[in-house]
C-alpha cells in the first residue's frame, strides 16, 4: 500500500509540478503530462483514498484520515464521498432512490426500476462520454449539490457542520483549481483554450477509468435490482443482498488487481468493506465457498473486457421499454415471498 501510494501520488503530482514550472514548450508535452496526471488521479481514487475513507488502509485512524484528504487533493471531496459511497451505496446497493450511484440525470437509466425515456435507447452508445466527464462534474457542481442534499437528509448535524464542510470543500477546490489549471495558464506559452482542453483530457481519462470500474461491478444483467416490500423493508439479509447485487471481474489479472485497487474483487469488498484491498484475492476462495455453502450467487466475469461488454449489453437492455416486464416480475416475486 505504501509503495502504491507513493507511485500514484507521484504520477499525479510530478506532471502537474512540471506543468506549473513553465518548462513545457510543446503541445504534445502538455497533453502527455496532463494525461499522465489523470492516470495518477484515477490511481489515487481507486487505490489510495478508497481504502482510506473506508478506514481499511491502516489500523491507525490518523493515517486513514490523512490519506482520505488525497481525494480532496484531486478536486473531489472526502466528506461527500463517505456519505455517498460508504453509507448509501454500501448499505443500499442497487436499490433505486437509495443507492446514490444509481441516481443519474434523466437521460441515463441504471436500474429497471427507474423511469424510462425514449433517449435511453441509445445510452449504451453515449454513456462513455458521460463517464468520461463524470469527474469534471464532481469538481464543479456535483459535490456542492450532494452536500446540500445530504444536509437535508440529516447526514450533517445542523447548520454549523454544513457551513464548516462547505467552507472546507470550497477552499480545497480553489486550491486544486489553482495548481491544476490556473498556474499552467499563467506560466505556459499556450492559449488558455489549449490548456483547458488538456485539463479536460486529464479528467476524461480519470472519469472513464473510475466510472467504468465501479459501474461494471453492479450494472450487470446477472445482478439484481431489489425492491423493498410495502413497508419499505428489504426481504434479503444484508450479506445475501451484497452477493446478489455485485459482480467480480478479471480475477486472474495481477496487474489489474494492483492498478485499480483490488476493485475487480467487488464482492469481497462489499461483504468485507473494512478490509484492505491487498487481501481480497486471498480471501476470494473463502468468500466464494461461503456463498456456495449458503446458496448465494457469486458473480464473476473472466476479464475486464467481458465485463465491459456485458455492462454495455445491460445498458442497452435498460434502454428498452419492454424491460419494465423485469420490474413487474420482481414485484410479483416479492409479493409471493
- What does the angle CA 295 – CA 111 – CA 121 come to, to the nearest 5 degrees? 130
**Residue 58 lies in domain:** 2-99+117-215
| Domain C-terminal end among 181, 215, 249 | 215
Residue 232 exposed, middle or buried by CB count within 10 Å (0-12, 13-18, 19+)? exposed
Q: State phi, psi for 300 to the nearest 5 degrees.
A: -145, 135
- The average pLDDT across 280-299 equals 96
Residue 321 lies in a domain: yes
Structural domain count, the chain: 2
Q: Indicate if the pLDDT at residue 331 is higher than 80.
A: no
Are 155 and 39 in the same domain?
A: yes
**Residue 146: per-residue pLDDT:** 95
- The average pLDDT across 242-269 equals 96
Are 264 and 200 in the same domain?
A: no
Q: Indicate if the pLDDT at residue 236 is higher than 70.
A: yes
Are 202 and 251 in the same domain?
A: no
**Residue 155: per-residue pLDDT:** 94
Residue 256 has, within 13 A of its CA and on its CB side, a CA count of 18
d(CA 163, CA 242): 34
Rg (CA), the chain: 21
Residue 323 lies in a domain: yes
Residue 226 lies in a domain: no
Are 332 and 296 in the same domain?
A: yes
pLDDT tens digits along 156-192:
988 899 999 999 999 999 999 999 999 999 999 999 9
Return mean pLDDT, the chain. 92
Give the β-pairing of 299-301 and 247-249. Answer: parallel
Q: Indicate if the pLDDT at residue 226 is higher than 80.
A: yes
Alpha carbon distances (Å) from 216 to 7, 25, 299, 304, 335 = 26, 39, 12, 9, 29
In the three-class reduction of DSSP (H, G, I as helix; E, B as strand; rest coil), residue 234 is classed as coil
**Residue 322: per-residue pLDDT:** 60
Residue 124 lies in a domain: yes
pLDDT band at 228 (very low <50, low <70, confident <90, very high): confident
Cα dihedral 303→202→316→101 (10° resolution): 90
Residue 246 lies in a domain: yes
Amino acid at each position: 500500500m505504501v509503495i502504491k501510494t507513493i507511485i500514484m501520488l507521484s504520477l499525479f503530482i510530478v506532471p502537474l509540478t512540471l506543468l506549473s514550472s513553465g518548462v513545457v514548450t510543446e503541445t504534445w508535452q502538455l497533453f502527455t503530462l496532463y494525461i499522465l496526471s489523470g492516470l495518477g488521479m484515477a490511481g489515487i481514487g481507486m487505490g489510495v483514498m478508497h481504502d482510506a475513507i473506508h478506514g481499511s488502509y491502516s489500523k491507525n485512524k490518523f493515517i486513514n484520515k490523512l490519506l482520505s484528504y488525497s481525494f480532496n487533493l484531486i478536486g473531489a471531496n472526502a466528506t461527500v464521498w463517505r456519505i455517498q459511497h460508504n453509507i448509501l451505496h454500501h448499505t443500499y446497493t442497487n436499490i433505486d432512490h437509495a443507492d446514490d450511484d444509481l441516481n443519474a440525470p434523466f437521460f441515463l437509466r441504471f436500474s429497471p426500476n427507474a423511469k424510462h425515456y425514449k433517449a435511453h435507447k441509445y445510452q449504451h452508445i453515449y454513456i462513455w462520454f458521460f463517464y468520461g466527464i463524470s469527474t469534471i462534474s464532481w469538481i464543479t457542481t456535483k459535490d456542492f449539490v450532494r452536500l446540500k442534499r445530504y444536509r437535508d437528509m440529516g447526514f450533517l448535524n445542523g447548520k454549523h457542520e454544513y457551513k464548516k464542510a462547505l467552507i472546507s470543500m470550497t477552499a480545497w477546490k480553489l486550491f486544486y483549481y489553482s495548481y491544476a489549471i490556473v498556474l499552467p495558464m499563467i506560466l505556459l506559452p499556450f492559449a488558455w483554450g489549449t490548456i483547458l482542453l488538456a485539463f479536460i483530457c486529464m479528467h476524461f481519462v480519470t472519469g472513464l477509468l473510475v466510472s467504468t470500474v465501479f459501474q461494471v461491478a453492479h450494472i450487470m444483467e446477472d445482478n439484481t435490482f431489489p425492491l423493498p416490500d410495502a413497508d419499505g423493508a428489504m426481504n434479503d439479509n444484508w450479506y445475501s443482498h451484497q452477493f446478489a447485487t455485485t459482480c467480480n471481474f478479471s480475477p486472474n489479472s495481477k496487474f489489474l488487481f494492483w492498478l485499480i485497487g483490488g476493485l475487480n474483487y467487488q464482492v469481497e469488498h462489499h461483504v468485507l468493506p473494512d478490509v484492505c484491498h491487498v487481501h481480497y484475492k486471498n480471501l476470494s476462495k473463502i468468500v466464494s465457498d461461503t456463498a456456495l455453502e449458503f446458496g448465494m450467487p457469486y458473480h464473476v466475469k473472466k476479464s475486464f473486457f467481458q465485463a465491459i461488454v456485458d455492462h454495455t449489453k445491460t445498458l442497452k437492455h435498460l434502454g428498452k421499454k419492454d424491460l419494465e416486464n423485469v420490474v413487474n416480475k420482481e414485484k410479483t416475486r416479492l409479493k409471493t415471498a
